[in-house]
Amino acid sequence: MKDTTKKRIQQKIIATYVPLRELIFEDNGREVNVVKDFTDYSPVLASVELIIYSFTKANQNIYDQDILNALKRIRRNPLQEFSRSEEDALAFAIQYGISRGLQQKRLAINEIHALLDWLIHEVEGRMQKNENYIEWLGEFFRDNPLKTFNGD
């Protein structure tokens, strides 16, 4: 990736990132069924999976286990701010995806926990079946190309 392109992307991220603590409501006690109410949660899920896909395209040395580890780190405390360091880059990118999705549809912390649990389950499930989550994402986005992405 060219340095000018990378710098432009970094500036865009800084300009559009809103910390999750400013976007997430307190626990609303609502029982969350991500599968049943998928359309309610799709703005956040789509944003996160698009960011993961984009991140893995730009960083070929990322594996399913790295994604799983980052999701679990975020799940432990979604309001924790990750640094923009190399070590935290994937976790920060996923948080950025959550932030972008929450800017379209605000959710409560229990709903964020349920979404992260669902994503963790998806990655773990593919790994247990010796499938590749990253390859699945690639196939999904190739089969369902995005015409536009809000804010781009």
Q: pTM for the full model? A: 0.84
- Residue 151's pLDDT is what? 40
The count of other CB atoms within 10 Å of the CB of residue 144 is 8
List the one residue out of 142, 143, 94 whose CA is nearest residue 119.
Answer: 94
CA separation, residue 52 to residues 44, 75, 90, 119, 139 (Å): 12, 16, 8, 11, 13
Q: Are 134 and 64 in contact (CB under 8 A)?
A: yes
Phi (first) and psi of residue 51, to 5 degrees:
-65, -45
∠ CA 34-38-41, nearest 5°, is 80
Higher pLDDT, 144 or 59: 59
pLDDT tens for 44-96 read: 999 999 999 999 988 889 999 999 999 999 999 999 988 878 889 999 999 99
Phi (first) and psi of residue 25, to 5 degrees:
-80, 165
- Residue 150's pLDDT is what? 43
For residue 133, pLDDT over 50 is answered with: yes
pLDDT tens for 88-110 read: 999 999 999 999 999 998 999 99
Average of per-residue pLDDT values in the chain? 87
- Residue 13's pLDDT is what? 74
